[in-house]
Copies of this chain bind each other. A is one copy, B any other.
């Protein structure tokens, strides 16, 4: 059920987030003023503060949106994987593909410092990450039980599998590396598989 008001509220929120994504990635969060956001989103300061509370609320809202979209996409694509090796490689491949398909949002997620988020925003992020870890672990457990994947502390899997490509991507968005993640995804997928493959793996 989408009343006229609910629809226009959604549209306004989206307009603000889009303006923020553009300004934040090009000029940086600190350098963009509320006035600029108002201009680009075509609204007033009152409207912005009504929807997001404060500037940090916009920044964390955008961050959370990006993380959730990224996580959901991974879980979706894992459904199509059969083997342990396919699944591990998919974690890396999907990350690269997602960056390729969502360049601005990726740039934002990868270049943000989140020490500045409020306590509630951090809690929300934390809970999102926690659920994601659990879902990932749930997917991989059968492979671990069959020893196709090495047994590790549960919290170690995500860092070990996707830490390298994330680190690479972080440097890439800053222009420190030439090749985009999509050009090195197979190298990193291979490394991830080698890092976790167990004795029972083909």
Residues of A at the B interface (CB closer than 8 Å) are: 24, 28-31, 56, 110-116, 122, 126, 129-130, 152-153, 155-156, 158-160, 162-168, 171, 174-177, 179, 184, 187-188, 191-192, 194-197
Contacts and interface: CB of A to CB of B under 8 A. Distances in A.
A136 to B, nearest CB: 13
A126 B160 CA distance: 25
SS class of chain A's interface: helix, strand, loop or mixed?
Answer: helix
Contacts of A113: 29, 110-116
One complex includes copies of this chain to the number of 2
Contact of A168 (B29, B114, B156, B179): B156
A195 B184 contact: no
Contact of A194 (B116, B130, B176, B195): B195
A167 B168 contact: no
Nearest to A116: B30
Given A29-B116, A129-B171, A163-B166, A179 B196 contact: no
Contacts of A24: 115
Top 10 A-B pairs, shortest CB-CB distance: A163-B167, A163-B164, A113-B113, A163-B163, A111-B115, A195-B195, A159-B167, A159-B168, A191-B195, A160-B164
Given A192-B195, A195-B191, A115 B115 contact: no
